[in-house]
Amino acid sequence: MERIQGYVDHIIYRNSENGYTVLALICGEEEITCVGNLHYIGEGEAIEAEGQYKEHSTYGRQFQITSYEIKAPEDVLSIERYLGSGAIRGIGVALAARIVKKFKADTFRIIEEEPERLVEVKGISERKAREIAEQVEEKRDMRKAMIFLQQYGISNSMSVKIYNAYGPELYQVIKENPYRMADDINGIGFRMADEIAGRVGIHTDSDFRIRSGILYTLQQASGEGHMYLPKELLLERAVMLLGVSPESVEKHIMDLAVERKLIIKETEECLCIYSTTAYYLELNTAKMLHDLNIFSEISETAVLEKVAGIERERETRLDGMQKKAVVEAAGHGLLVITGGPGTGKTTTINALIDYFESEGLELRLAAPTGRAAKRMTEATGFEAQTIHRLLEVSGGPDEESHGQFGRNAEHPLEADVIIIDEMSMVDIYLIHALLMAIPVGTRLIMVGDVNQLPSVGPGSVLKDIIDSGKFPIVRLTKIFRQATESDIIVNAHRINKGEHVTLDNKSRDFFFLKRQDANVIISIVITLVQQKMPKYVHASQNEIQVLTPMRKGLLGVERLNKILQEYLNPPSSDKKEKEYGGGRFREGDKVMQTKNNYQIAWEIRGKYGIAVEKGTGIFNGDMGIVREINTYAELMTIEFDEGRFVEYSFQQLDELELAYAVTIHKSQGSEYPAVVIPILPGPRLLMNRNLLYTAVTRAKSCVTLVGDENTFYQMIDNTFEQRRYTSLRERILDF
């Protein structure tokens, strides 16, 4: 490690989000380019820094700062330079010179201890003197806080969040109850707070710690899709996390329930323990569903006459259940339509659109993901949006915030009929936000395949609504003739029913290549994606999707992506790269957003790269291509579906991962021209019928499985799914 000392001449670049800074430091006669997380270093400040020199491929020699200390300017020239640098608003070069001429080496003491004396300098009023003193004080407090927090291993960007949340109170919070931060500040979870608490010397059996650990356990369960945990399971998980006795945890569960931080509901099976938020999300959702479910008297004959006219116009024939769907939609405020692939869900949606348009009603169509909305638009010829865009999302970048929506109870959606597709993907947060924005009297039609995997977020919304039996449900079961020509659809239904699937490769769109060795399987996958499939289904290489059940292992997403990247987008001198998190991103890479970011800006660019449309929000599962990596500005530009360009700072790259291969869970709601599914034995909990059915139904023109046929048949036979602890069904039945 080397040490250098000097003053900041100017800031070359600063990322305001994380504090990453490039600056010019004057050390004697030499100007040195320094880089690092230097959030609160301003121009004119004197610093002593520790770090090492590195040679940047583009920008040459730089000093990488690992730690630094702000030095008070010692000589008159340094003081004048600092004050005149713009570090303090309202003081320019000329005024700085007058202040220093008046007070000389005593300048800083005067500003801090006797700021009223600044009025002795020409051009400084009493008000301005106060403002200068406040700024100096604030900067000093902030620096002090940053240095204090650094000793607990807290990053600069997180320190800013903490300081902004608590101000001078932060010292008390850290020393008495750092677990408060897990509740108050997005990005600080229980584990970080626990680490800080350990360093401060807070005991493992602290009341604050146990309470925070219980809430954290429920939060983690929410990440697995649960709305509550049975008491015994909560106790088991919390005891394992905290390393304390079950009695201690149980006592605090009761205390938190008394304070209404938790809700306890008794069922025949168990005591169910909810976070208060989770409980009321289900309760309010159930209430709003009931409120929308208005029955109105209609003439079934008149509706069917209109349907007959629609059939003639579209030159199509609806079966009995599809006609029933239109009749039910006409007479009810709420309707669920469910069915597998090839059962005519799209035809039914088109009939509903035609019917309601003939009635002069205003319609809105939406789906949970951009890809699903795009598919809906193509299939209906009617513009569909993501549910987030329908609700006019805005809000914070943190997943925990679940976004803020412009459309809500105060500012509801203006539509007579709202049709939502791919309902199996909708979690409790999204359905609650949607229902908040739908006024009573608006028709809501929910369409989806209940046999698909449940949503990535918490809840089993579609399944619970159907299982309640309280609302009109239309089940489409007939597979239409054109669909029976597709082995993808025929085999998907066989898989769903647990029936035998013939693997003789006589099909035109469903293939099984039997192999046992993982590396051989990967080699075949590469050949299929790179050479065979694009020609076969008339699609680009990037449109062919590899789907795999798991993240880890020989055929897991993480290993597959590293290998596929080297073959499908090999390194070259004209492609810039960025190493990140044990891997690298390269221009031309296929990537996926891994969390909801409601605030990130996107733009659709016209012919000359000029923005023609702007918006915010990129969501979990959105896929794109890396178009540019700018190492100087530390930005990576991604083009997502619909031509939306987004700039990510290098510090935001944890939101992205390579997407040559994705988990089957992540593929929900998407449709690809062809999918390739590598398959070898794996955990029984994961390798089930539901997962296989979802994977197969993602393909439009061709499915190719590569691997072990016994595993394939075992998955069809395995109906065991990880149970989700949800209770929307029960809340619906309570009304």
Please classify residue 153 by burial: count the beta carbons closer than 10 Å to its beta carbon, then call 0-12 exposed, 13-18 middle and 19+ buried.
Answer: exposed
The residues near 323 (Cβ < 8 Å, ≥ 6 apart) are: 304, 307
Place of tokens 């991103």: 585
The CA distances from residue 253 to 207, 216, 229, 235, 702, in Å, are 11, 12, 12, 9, 52
Please classify residue 574 by burial: count the beta carbons closer than 10 Å to its beta carbon, then call 0-12 exposed, 13-18 middle and 19+ buried.
Answer: exposed
Distance of CA 666 to the CA centre of its chain: 12
Residues in a beta bridge with 363: 417
Both ends of the chain: CA-CA distance in Å? 68
Distance of CA 644 to the CA centre of its chain: 17
Rounded CA-CA distance 718/324 in Å is 34
Average pLDDT for 3-11: 88
Secondary-structure percent of the chain, ordered helix, strand, coil, rounded to 5:
45, 25, 30
Query: When comparing pLDDT for 228 and 46, which is higher?
Result: 228
Rounded CA-CA distance 438/626 in Å is 37
Place of tokens 């809906």: 376
* Reported confidence tier of residue 419, pLDDT bands at 50, 70, 90: very high
Using an 8 Å Cβ cutoff, are 643 and 604 in contact? yes
Place of tokens 């008297």: 297
Query: For the residues of 484-516, what is the DSSP string, one character each?
Result: HT-HHHHHHHHHHHT-----SS--SSEEEEE--
User: If you average pLDDT over every residue of the chain, what do you get?
Assistant: 88
Alpha helices in 104-189 (DSSP H): 107-113, 126-150, 156-166, 170-176, 180-184
Using an 8 Å Cβ cutoff, are 200 and 149 in contact? no
Q: Which phi and psi (to 5°) does residue 632 adopt?
A: -70, -55
- 213-222, 606-615, 621-630: which has the minimum mean pLDDT? 606-615
What's the confidence (pLDDT) of residue 402? Answer: 55
Query: When comparing pLDDT for 189 and 288, which is higher?
Result: 288
Rounded CA-CA distance 635/17 in Å is 13
Rounded CA-CA distance 285/298 in Å is 27
Query: When comparing pLDDT for 351 and 481, which is higher?
Result: 351
Assess whether pLDDT exceeds 80 at residue 611.
yes
Q: Backbone dihedral region of 369: left (phi > 0), alpha (psi from -120 to 50 degrees) or beta?
A: beta
Assess whether pLDDT exceeds 80 at residue 15.
no
Using an 8 Å Cβ cutoff, are 294 and 440 in contact? yes
The kind and range of the H/E element at 91 are none
Rounded CA-CA distance 100/112 in Å is 14
**Sign of CA pseudo-dihedral 346, 352, 358, 362:** negative
Query: When comparing pLDDT for 372 and 86, which is higher?
Result: 372
Place of tokens 């069904």: 729
The kind and range of the H/E element at 661 are strand 661-663
The CA distances from residue 717 to 45, 341, 677, 720, 721, in Å, are 69, 20, 18, 9, 12
Assess whether pLDDT exceeds 90 at residue 191.
no
Q: Which phi and psi (to 5°) does residue 404 adopt?
A: -115, 140
pLDDT in tens, 122-149: 888 888 888 888 877 777 777 677 667 7
Place of tokens 């999707």: 545
Highest averaged pLDDT of the listed ranges 182-196, 198-212, 442-456 = 442-456
pLDDT in tens, 663-706: 998 888 788 999 999 999 998 888 999 999 999 999 999 999 99
pLDDT in tens, 142-185: 767 766 776 676 766 677 778 888 888 888 888 878 888 887 88
Assess whether pLDDT exceeds 70 at residue 3.
yes
Print the SS3 string covering 669-704: CCCEEEEEEEECCCCCCCCCHHHHHHHHCCEEEEEE
**CB-side exposure of 704: number of CA atoms within 13 Å?**
24
pLDDT in tens, 291-335: 999 998 888 899 999 999 998 988 888 999 999 999 999 999 999
In terms of residues, how long is the chain? 735
Using an 8 Å Cβ cutoff, are 18 and 26 in contact? no
What's the confidence (pLDDT) of residue 401? Answer: 46
What's the confidence (pLDDT) of residue 399? Answer: 42
What's the confidence (pLDDT) of residue 397? Answer: 41
Q: Comparing C-alpha atoms, which of 435, 465, 469 is closest to residue 448? A: 465
- 45-49, 485-489, 600-604: which has the minimum mean pLDDT? 45-49
* Reported confidence tier of residue 348, pLDDT bands at 50, 70, 90: very high
**CB-side exposure of 582: number of CA atoms within 13 Å?**
5
Q: Comparing C-alpha atoms, which of 205, 168, 199, 197 is closest to residue 181? A: 197
* Reported confidence tier of residue 44, pLDDT bands at 50, 70, 90: confident
pLDDT in tens, 460-489: 999 999 999 999 999 999 988 676 789 999
- Other CB atoms within a 10 A radius of the CB of residue 17 amount to 13
* Reported confidence tier of residue 112, pLDDT bands at 50, 70, 90: confident
What's the confidence (pLDDT) of residue 400? Answer: 43
What's the confidence (pLDDT) of residue 698? Answer: 92
What's the confidence (pLDDT) of residue 181? Answer: 84
Rounded CA-CA distance 183/214 in Å is 12
Counting residues of the chain whose pLDDT is more than 70, the rounded percentage is: 96
Using an 8 Å Cβ cutoff, are 421 and 380 in contact? no
Query: If DSSP codes are grouped into helix, strand and coil, which group holds residue 606?
Result: coil
The single-letter code of the amino acid at 368 is P
Query: If DSSP codes are grouped into helix, strand and coil, which group holds residue 203?
Result: coil
What long-range pairs does 354-361 form, CB within 8 A, spacing at least 24?
A: 354/310, 354/313, 354/314, 355/303, 355/306, 355/307, 355/310, 355/326, 355/329, 355/330, 356/329, 356/416, 356/417, 356/443, 358/306, 358/309, 358/310, 361/416, 361/417
What's the confidence (pLDDT) of residue 520? Answer: 96
Assess whether pLDDT exceeds 80 at residue 79.
no
The residues near 504 (Cβ < 8 Å, ≥ 6 apart) are: none
Please classify residue 518 by burial: count the beta carbons closer than 10 Å to its beta carbon, then call 0-12 exposed, 13-18 middle and 19+ buried.
Answer: middle
The residues near 647 (Cβ < 8 Å, ≥ 6 apart) are: 601, 635, 636, 637
Q: Comparing C-alpha atoms, which of 372, 384, 493, 479 is closest to residue 424? A: 372
